[in-house]
Structure 1
C-alpha cells in the first residue's frame, strides 16, 4: 500500500461520511474514534484548543481499512493497524511534517506504529506505564445479592455533585484537570450521564458514568469508589446499574476500559459479564512536539 492511500482532512463531517460505516462495523475496537469524532461534531473544533483537528482514513479500491484522529494539544488515536498499515501512516505523516507527540491504540498497533515512526524519523519511542484493557459486555450478570442501598441517576440539578465525583476520579487516576462551572462544559466529563450508589441513609459511596449512544454502542466511563468504602460491592452494583441502563437505551455493544494493573477491578468486570476485547497502550515520542 502507498502512503498516499491515507486521506487526511480537518472536516469531521467529511471524515464520518468517508469512514463512518467502517467505524460502526466494529464499534468496540473503534470506540475512541467514534467518541471523539462525535464530540468534535457536536461541540465544534474550537472546543479543543487552538488549531484544527486532523482525521485520516486509509482507503483502497473505495474501501476504508483503517483510521486515525488527532485533536489540538492531543496525541493520535489509531484504529487497529497491521504493520504495513502502520508503516504507510508513519511515512505519510513524516512526509507531511506532522508532529506525533504520542499515540494510543490497541497494544499491537502501538508497537507497530512506534517501530515504523522510529524507522522513518529516528525518534525513539517511550512507552507509557499506563496499560488498559478494553472490555465488551457479554451477558450482564448483576451481583446477587446487591449491597444495601439504591442507585440514583444525577440530573441537570446535580451539577455540583457530578463535578465533585468526577474531580475525585480524576485525582485518583492522575488526570490533571480543573472542574468547575467555567470548565465543565468543555471537559470530557460533560457529555456523560452519572449514576450514584447510595447507602440506605442516602450517603453516596460509588459512581459510574456512561457516554451517549454512538454507533449503536455505549461506553461505561467513569467508575470510582473512594478507598475507605471499597470492598463492599458498591462498584459492582453501580456498574451493573449503568450497564443495564446502557442496554435499555438501545446499545448493542457496551464497553469499558480497566487498568490492567488492578486485579480487583478486572475481576469485578468479568463477574458482571464483561469479556476482554483488546489490551490498550500508549507511547510518547519525546521529539514529537
Structure 2
C-alpha cells in the first residue's frame, strides 16, 4: 500500500526523491529549484516541509517514489503525483501541517489535491491562476528592439523590488514585500537579474539557478507605460540564450493562460508547451 512520509530535512528529502525529480526536470523545475535553495540555505526565508509518497508501505528506506509535495511558506504547496497520489499527499499534509493555504501543480494533480483538502476540511477552493509551462532548447531570434540587455546591479534593487511586487500582484501570487525583497536580493547576489535598458530600465527578467540542466525564466515584468515595444521578447531571448550558453540544456518558463499575447510571444522565440499548471488558493 502507498504511504506518505513527511519531514523538514531538505537533504534527506533530496537523497530520497532527487533522482525521481530529475527524471522530468522541466515539469519539476519549481520543485528542483526550491529544494536546491533550501539545501543551500540561500536567502533568509524559512525552510520547508517535504512529503514523499512511496509505492510501498515502508517508511522511506527502500520503496519507490510515486509522488512528492513541498511547502515553503509563505508560498503555496507544490505537488507532483498522479491524482490518487495527490489526494493521499493532501490528506497527509493536512494532518501534520494544516496551515497549507494553497497548492500548485500540473492541472489534474493540483485539482485532485485541492478536492481532497476541501472534502476533508469543508473549506472552499478557488483557482488563482491557470498557467502553461514551456521549454526551449534553441532560441529563435526575435525582431530587434532599441536598447540593450545588462545584468542588474545593487543600484537597481529598489526598482526591482517595486517591479517584483507589481508582477506578483498581476499574477495573483503576491506573498508580500519582505519576500519580494528576499527574491530580489538573491537574484542580485547570484547575478540572475537582467534589465533591458532603453533610455533607462524598460524590462526586468529574472532567472533561476540551473538545476538538473534546466534554468527557469521568472519573473518577466515590463511596466505598463513601456509595454508593446518588444522589450520582454528581446530580453527573454537574451537571457534564454545566456543560460544555454552557460551550460543549461533547456530553459523553461510559465505563462498566464489568460494572457494570449505572452503565449504567442514566447512560442515565437522557440518555446514549446509542456503542461498546463494550476494554482489554487484555500479558504477554511
TM norm structure 2: 0.85
5 Å-filtered alignment, 1:75-90, equals 75-79=76-80, 81-90=81-90
**What is aligned with 1:67?**
68
**Which of these residues, 4, 11, 14, is aligned with residue 13 of structure 1?**
11
The answer to whether structure 1 residue 226 and structure 2 residue 223 are counterparts is: yes
Partner of 1:191: 186
**Matched ranges for 1:42-191 at <5 A:** 42-43=40-41, 47-49=44-46, 53-60=48-55, 62-79=63-80, 81-94=81-94, 96=96, 98-119=98-119, 121-144=120-143, 146-156=144-154, 158-173=156-171, 175=174, 177-178=176-177, 184=181, 187-191=182-186
For 1:166 and 1:95, locate their aligned partners in 2 and report how far apart those are by CA, in whole Å. Answer: 34
Number of residue equivalences: 273
Hey, what does 2:273 align to over in structure 1? 276
Who is 2:60 aligned against? none
Aligned-residue CA RMSD (Å): 2.5
C-alpha distance in structure 2 between counterparts of 1:17 and 1:161, whole Å: 39
Q: Residue 10 and residue 143 in structure 1: after superposition, are their counterparts in 2 closer, same or farther (change >3 A)?
A: same
Q: 1:36 aligns with which of 31, 34, 37?
A: 34
Q: Kindly state the Cα deviation for residue 222 of structure 1 after the two structures are TM-superposed.
A: 1.2
Structure 2 residues without counterparts, runs of 5 or longer: 57-62
Deviations 1:70-112 (A, max 9, x none): 1244432101x22221232234335557444221111111222
CA distance in 2, matches of 1:115, 1:135: 26
Any conservation in 2 of the 1:125–1:283 contact (CA below 8 Å)? no
Q: Is the 8 A contact 1:195 1:207 kept in 2?
A: yes
Whole-angstrom distance in 2 between the partners of 1:167 and 1:88: 34
Unaligned ranges ≥5, structure 1: none
Conserved 8 A contact 1:27-1:253 = no
Q: TM-score with structure 1 length normalisation?
A: 0.84
Asked whether 1:236 is paired with 2:229, we answer: no
Cα distance in structure 1, aligned partners of 2:100 and 2:169: 27
Distance apart, 1:224 and its partner CA: 1.2
Evaluate the alpha carbon distance shift between residue 154 and residue 47 of structure 1 in structure 2; reply closer, same or farther with a 3 A threshold. closer
Q: Residues 113-158 of structure 1, C-alpha deviation per residue, up to 9 Å, x if partnerless?
A: 2233344x152441224222111114310213x1122111123554
Asked if 2 retains the 8 angstrom alpha-carbon contact of 1:27 and 1:34, the reply is: yes
